A and B are shown apart, each in its own frame.
Chain A
Amino acid sequence: MRVGVYVCHCGINIAKTVDVERVVKEISKLPNVVVCRDYHYMCSDPGQELIKKDINRYELNSIVIAACSPRMHFKTFQSALKSAKLNPYMLEMANIREHCSWVHDDVEAATQKAIALVKSSVAKASHLEPLVENDSPVVPAALVIGGGIAGIQSALDIANAGYKVFLVEKEPSIGGHMAQFDKTFPTLDCAACILTPKMVDVSRHENIKLLTYSEVEDISGFVGNFHVKVKKKPRYVNENKCVACGDCATECRLANRIVSEFDEGLGKRSAIYVPFPQAVPLKYTIDPDNCLFLTRGKCGKSPKCVDVCDANAIEFDQKEKIEEFDVGTIIVATGYDSFDAAEKPEFMFGKVPNIINGLQYERFFAPNGPTGGELVMPDGSVPKNVVFVSCVGSRDKKVGNPYCSRICCMYSTKQAHLTKERSPDTDVTVFYCDVRAFGKGYEEFYERVQGEGVKYRRGLVSEIYQDDEGKLHVRAEDSLLGEPVDIVADLVVLATGVVPKDTTKSLAQKLHISNSPDGFLLEAHPKLRPVDTVTDGIFLAGCAQGPKDIPDTVAQAGAAAAHAIDVLAKGKITIEPYNAVVNPDLCGGCRICEMLCPFDAHHYNEQEGVMEINDTLCKGCGVCGAACPAGAIALNLFRNKQIISQIEAILDE
């Protein structure tokens, strides 16, 4: 083996704690090392040029780069090798930045460790062998999970690019939270007006298969060839027959007696319902938890809905269905939940009707809301003074949410404005920590609303309580005046923050992607790959990845779609040869590996009495290799010999 070793300074990132010259001096002594250099930025063009030149000049056949994490730049350097006509798998990286210079202060210790790490890489490099990449076809279809604005946007973009899209939504209608809003900040255009057309487009688009009231059950396979199982919950209404006349809902024995989720519990609906008038698809659904017939098996003499439905669309015998299909790529756009303010008992949420959260307040203004868009409280009166409490469940370690939800400041501001708009002499006070008006036109909007007489008081609300006449008091510390304040309020709006959907964790497990500490889904790189996940072919859009406002969500949805289209457009994916290989001369056919493989890549050849492994199915985890009692299975790029030589080198002093 003729190994070339390149130690990167990474500016001062490595050089300041690792004595690079000494590393080079030590490594040059090793057998197999033909040339060893250091350079300021190996990943830079001149850095890569250096390698290419050496490969030719010294006939190097294996390269070690001591720099940053291979998860960062392995591919970069692979291409450098390629262009020098060297097999891209004759490369090994020593991570002396993330794992060394950045985490240690003591130069001596760091240098020692760096030397050990590079030695280990050289040892492995000396046992590398060329590998060939294989291609596998891509199914020209995408799965989008979640039918909020993010999912809708991604679905439309991909569909418009000419690829089939399966859009899966858990609720009876797409639209998500945005459909609940009245206006959007800062431009104040009507949410419905901009969302509804997109929803309709989705339902009409020939490339989009809409699966509402459905949930992803299981996902197997890999980029280009995911196999998806979707559970379709029964609506008990035949979607093809239902004409959405609504007679069933009016006639239903439980008409207006069931709390409406869409109205955040403020409004009422029937047991058979559409969540909101603009729902897509506009098909009725019977709520199995409340419907008398479904819960008690009996609804009067016969269910009213059945009686009145001329289309005979009611089908109580509908069963849950599993739909299966293949896609090449997946976008996760499952959105968020609103923080449950009940977790902060000092705010009495849920105890007093006049203490509501931001999403509920949205419904006050919505024309299709419980009050038909009027600012009247449950008792019919118009609130004389409204108090907003910001950062409820955000920037709050006590409830485990240290992060900022990014939208509450602005929606409170918007709602403050809408309040003034509806009743100008209502007194509006906003208690805030800091107002975060970072987006385009946000600061301007904030100023405008201040100008409308909304009082912004800086301070944390300590508690909300009811006095003897039952009046609400908001008690806080005004941190600018440095004095306690106690304000009487008819209506208190808690600007509740954004939290991960309760289903995020289980979905992440189904997809084998990670969560970040805040519980949202983890992107592949916070800056450079914000819409990718560590799993090839799976992308993120919207609040599933973290709190966002609508513009950011739509932007990310577009980006995710672009990445997905990129995969689909290629038509094939190159499978990295990180796969396991059976040596048929050693395999005794004990079939132990067979059951270890989660990808069913192993199959037993009865004739020969040996195991065989399918390259495309094998993902290269190496579990079978580690377990093969005959030592007959080797894992490319992580062969026993390679790793053992690393162990020896890393411990050798």
Chain B
Amino acid sequence: MSKGKIAFYWAGSCGGCEVSIVDLDEMLFEVLEHFDIVFWPCAMDIKYSNVEDMDDEEIDVCFFNGCIRNEENQAIAELLRKKSKIMIAFGSCSHLGGIPGLGNLSTKEEILEQVYKKSKSIYNEEGIYPSNSVDDHGNEIEIPSLREHVDALDDVVEVDYYIPGCPPPADVIKTALLTLISGNIPPRSEVLAPNRTVCHECKKEKRDIAVKEIKRVYQLDDIDPNRCLLEQGLLCMGPATREGCGAACPSANMPCTGCMGPPSADPQSENCEQGARMISAIASITDVVDEKNSEEEEIKAALDELRDPVGIMYMYSMPKSILKRRRRE
């Protein structure tokens, strides 16, 4: 049988997803036995023009990572969708918007102003911004402009599968690749990763899940490495986060930050949204010992150190949260 064609691309991303492919090591050889890599800017000298020259659906599988932050991201997403049979949102950014999705808490203008005018070391007397069409000594130079807000991949093109994680864990990628290679294609728009939550994989012991008060990691004089971090008052996103990473961060005694996104929703329970899920859980178990007598003020105090719920709950999923972005009123 003839080899399939595979492409890797990054949009608004950090490159971690690329490295996670490189980290497949030997597995990479196996991939190369089944696929020719026809586009991979990070590792190969193939340019956009080469892709434009391809036939529609010439690429069998396209692994697309990164969020849709600027016009170029969107244009290439549309291009690759056209050229690919199967489009896979690869990694948190394309899956849920990722950390750059936090940009949705500010407007495009606010971002530009901070970066090019306000930041401490800036030297910008004319107060200029990079602007989408500039004339530099008579040279017309186009530069893609930022979109008003960040989107996930499936907000701009149809996505066939998702591979979650920041970056996707090697095992998850391997299983996904093997599934694709094996040819028995799972139902469309499925997340190619296990369904339960990080707690399911986490080795830490649970004694009494009641949380006295929320603590910041530096406020805890020492972290008991054997005990559930949530119990110790740390806001661990594990309970609201899909498994597959082997509870990587908790294993390093740090709370999960939720990069794998929400677990698969129960078909009956519609949208399984990380933030909604987690605040409900954490608030319900905080300061509940003798809850009947706890005053409004105590409750507030117990939850007080949760200073930035949105930033924590949606660290990787703001554009896919129900409210999607900050509004103004």
Binding site for B on A (CB under 8 A): 583, 585-592, 594-596, 609, 623, 626-632, 634, 639-641, 644
Contacts and interface: CB of A to CB of B under 8 A. Distances in A.
A634 B268 contact: yes
A629 B268 contact: no
Contact of A631 (B200, B243, B272): B272
B195 A586 contact: yes
Nearest to A604: B206
B209 A586 contact: no
A622 to B, nearest CB: 11
Contacts of A589: 199-200
A329 B284 CA distance: 32
A130 to B, nearest CB: 14
Contact of A590 (B209, B265, B270, B272): B209
B316 to A, nearest CB: 15
Nearest to A129: B268
B115 to A, nearest CB: 35
14 contacts: A588-B196, A588-B243, A588-B263, A590-B238, A591-B206, A595-B210, A595-B285, A626-B280, A629-B197, A631-B262, A631-B263, A631-B277, A632-B266, A640-B268
Given A630-B239, A640-B268, A592 B196 contact: no
B211 to A, nearest CB: 10
B269 interface: yes
Contacts of B262: 631
Contacts of B200: 588-589, 609
Contacts of A585: 195-196
B278 to A, nearest CB: 6
Interface in B193-215: 195-200, 206, 208-210
A304 B313 CA distance: 73
A591 B209 contact: yes
* 8 A-B pairs with the lowest CB-CB distances in the bound complex, closest first: A588-B197, A629-B239, A629-B281, A590-B239, A629-B240, A640-B269, A631-B272, A627-B284
Contact of B285 (A596, A609, A626): A596
A631 B240 CA distance: 8
Nearest to B208: A595
Contacts of B268: 634, 639-641
B264 interface: yes
Interface of B: 195-200, 206, 208-210, 230, 238-240, 243, 262-266, 268-272, 277-278, 280-281, 284-285, 288
A591 B263 CA distance: 16
Contacts of A609: 200
A591 B271 CA distance: 22
Most A CB within 10 A of own CB, among B263, B278, B288: B263
A586 B240 CA distance: 11
B281 A627 contact: yes
Nearest to A639: B268
Contacts of B288: 595-596
Most A CB within 10 A of own CB, among B198, B200, B238, B262: B200
Contact of A586 (B196, B198, B270, B281): B196
Contacts of B240: 629-630
Nearest to B207: A591
A634 B265 CA distance: 11
Contacts of B195: 585-586
B214 to A, nearest CB: 14
Contact of B239 (A588, A623, A639): A588
Contacts of A587: 196
Given A594-B209, A630-B277, A639-B269, A588 B284 contact: no
A630 B277 CA distance: 7
A588 B194 CA distance: 11
A239 to B, nearest CB: 36
Given A595-B288, A627-B280, A630-B239, A641 B270 contact: yes
A592 B238 CA distance: 12
Contacts of A595: 208-210, 285, 288
A589 B199 CA distance: 6
A87 to B, nearest CB: 17
A36 B288 CA distance: 47
Given A591-B209, A629-B278, A639-B268, A596 B284 contact: yes
A1 to B, nearest CB: 14
Contacts of A641: 268-270
A637 to B, nearest CB: 12
A521 to B, nearest CB: 21
A644 B209 contact: no
Contact of B263 (A594, A630, A640, A644): A630
A592 B239 contact: yes
Contacts of B278: 629
Contacts of B238: 588, 590
Given A639-B269, A641-B268, A592 B209 contact: yes
Most B CB within 10 A of own CB, among A589, A629, A644: A629
Contacts of B281: 590, 592, 627-629
B299 to A, nearest CB: 15
Most A CB within 10 A of own CB, among B240, B263, B269: B269
Contact of A592 (B266, B270, B271, B285): B285
A632 B265 CA distance: 8
A603 to B, nearest CB: 14
A643 B51 CA distance: 46
A586 B266 CA distance: 7
Contacts of A626: 280, 284
Nearest to A643: B270
Contacts of A590: 197, 199, 206, 209, 230, 238-239, 281
A590 B240 CA distance: 9
A640 B230 CA distance: 26
Given A590-B238, A595-B285, A634 B269 contact: yes
A117 to B, nearest CB: 21
B296 to A, nearest CB: 19
Given A594-B209, A595-B208, A586 B263 contact: yes
Contacts of B197: 586, 588, 590, 629-630
A641 B270 CA distance: 5
A295 B200 CA distance: 59
A301 B102 CA distance: 83
Given A594-B209, A628-B277, A631-B265, A644 B270 contact: yes
Given A586-B196, A590-B230, 6 more contacts: A585-B196, A586-B264, A590-B209, A591-B206, A631-B263, A634-B268
B209 to A, nearest CB: 5
A627 B271 CA distance: 14
A19 B181 CA distance: 62
